[in-house]
Amino acid sequence: MINFDYSRPTTIKAAIDALNKDASAQFIAGGTNLVDLMKRGVMVPQKLIDINRLPLREISKINNGVRIGALALNSAVAENELINEQFPILSLALKAGASPQLRNMATVGGNMLQRTRCPYFYDTNMPCNKRKPGSGCSALKGYNRMHAIFGASDQCIAVHPSDMCIALAALDATVIASSNKGERRIPFLNFHRLPGNTPNVDNNLQRGELITAVEISNAGMFSKNVHYLKVRDRASYAFALVSVAAALDLSGDTIKGARLAMGGVAHKPWRLLEAENFLKGKKATLANFTQAAHLAMKGAKGYGYNNFKLTLAPNAIIDTLKTASGIS
């Protein structure tokens, strides 16, 4: 274990100031990802700023939606009455993640910023452009079963591992970040990045920014016909091979609006906008769901061991839409 300094500020300003003072300082929330990375020498912060004393745990009703503090625990969000009533897809996605013990430690902000689970990223003996830019990507020609089929680059084919973020992407959430320049609102779809030539950068949060909350609006619009399907190697304690979040706004069997996002397939939560547009105004039928899945798979590419996802993903989309709509 490396040596590091540790502080526990009680105000947002003090936390941000402490981060700005030291280029290698890092916030720590639940620690469920960061501590693992430190133990393996993947991340080596000289200073940890424990943010658990900041007043950022509240889940509150706002105009037509909900505001979730960045320190709200994954378990608290999943069990929250307002979330269950108005945004049940978020609750379903959270409950599909990790284990009850981990969800009791993991926070919303930390979940968004968790690093990829690509095994080569965690193995400091192997080349990895995300860990060490310019060193190469071991997964491209390696064991890439868990890896991306959309939006990858020749620098990195890793996927974002979160379940929660797939639901937040489908719900068009907004991330609120604070810095010494003030507050910034970032649309969820612009928060995480594709790898391109900078796979070491996972997201668009700037140095010096603290995530303070996530907001979701359109309460109730997607409160009934929703489903989160997570296909994985084990029933618990396993990351998604492919996951699908589907939320439908139905009038009878007509789809007034659809939200679809996938996990386990790209470096960021992968929203299926073309499929959503296709479904709008259509009947909830197997034929339409099959066509939507077909559209969603445009541009998909396998890298060998993960070729099975090219079949698994469209089947998962169809299955999720069937369950969400209630058609048999």
List residues binding ligand FAD (CB under 6 A). Answer: 26-34, 51, 70, 97-98, 102, 105-107, 109-111, 113-114, 161-164, 210-211, 237, 239
Under the criterion CB under 6 A, does residue 130 sit at the interface with ligand SF4?
A: yes
Residue 179 C-beta: closest distance to ligand FAD, Å: 10
How do strand 5-7 and strand 47-50 relate by DSSP bridges? parallel
Q: Closest CB to ligand FAD among 27 and 188?
A: 27
Cα-based torsion angle of the residue sequence 264, 265, 269, 270 in order, rounded to the nearest 10 degrees: -150
Which of ligand SF4, ligand FAD, none is residue 128 near (CB under 5 to 8 Å by kind)? Answer: ligand SF4
Which of ligand FAD, ligand SF4, none is residue 163 near (CB under 5 to 8 Å by kind)? Answer: ligand FAD
The structure tokens 């909900």 sit at: 66
Under the criterion CB under 6 A, does residue 239 sit at the interface with ligand SF4?
A: no
Among 121, 191, 228, 239, binds ligand SF4 (CB under 6 A): 121
Which pair of structure tokens corresponds to residue 179? 């810095």
Count Cβ atoms below 10 Å from residue 102 Cβ, excluding itself.
15
Which of ligand FAD, ligand SF4, none is residue 239 near (CB under 5 to 8 Å by kind)? Answer: ligand FAD
3-state DSSP assignment of residue 19:
helix
Under the criterion CB under 6 A, does residue 129 sit at the interface with ligand SF4?
A: yes
Which of ligand FAD, ligand SF4, none is residue 138 near (CB under 5 to 8 Å by kind)? Answer: ligand SF4
Helices 309-325 and 286-296 meet at what angle, rounded to 10? 140
Alpha carbon distance 25, 46 (integer Å): 6
Q: Which residue minimizes CB distance to ligand FAD?
A: 110
Q: Restricting to residues 184-223, which ones interact with ligand SF4 according to CB under 6 A? A: 199
Q: Closest CB to ligand FAD among 31 and 136?
A: 31
Residue 242 C-beta: closest distance to ligand FAD, Å: 13
Under the criterion CB under 6 A, does residue 150 sit at the interface with ligand SF4?
A: no
Alpha carbon distance 121, 139 (integer Å): 9
Task: Give the interface segment with ligand SF4, choosing from 85-93, 113-121, 224-232, 246-254 (CB under 6 A).
Answer: 113-121
Under the criterion CB under 6 A, does residue 146 sit at the interface with ligand SF4?
A: no
Which pair of structure tokens corresponds to residue 324? 């969400």
Which pair of structure tokens corresponds to residue 193? 């990045």
E strands within the chain? 5-7, 25-28, 47-50, 59-62, 65-69, 174-179, 182-187, 210-217, 225-231, 242-251, 254-263, 270-271
Q: Is the dihedral of CA 119, 120, 122, 123 positive or negative?
A: positive
The residues near 129 (Cβ < 8 Å, ≥ 6 apart) are 135, 136, 137, 155, 156, 195, 199, 200
DSSP 8-class letter at 202: -
Q: Closest CB to ligand SF4 among 115 and 259?
A: 115
Which of ligand FAD, ligand SF4, none is residue 226 near (CB under 5 to 8 Å by kind)? Answer: none
Alpha carbon distance 240, 167 (integer Å): 13
For residues 177 and 205, the answer to whether their CB atoms sit within 8 Å is yes
Residue 98 C-beta: closest distance to ligand SF4, Å: 20
Which pair of structure tokens corresponds to residue 197? 């030539």
Residue 202 C-beta: closest distance to ligand SF4, Å: 10
Under the criterion CB under 6 A, does residue 317 sit at the interface with ligand SF4?
A: no
Under the criterion CB under 6 A, does residue 139 sit at the interface with ligand SF4?
A: yes
Alpha carbon distance 84, 35 (integer Å): 31
Binding stretches for ligand SF4 (CB under 6 A): 116, 118, 120-121, 128-130, 137-139, 156-158, 199
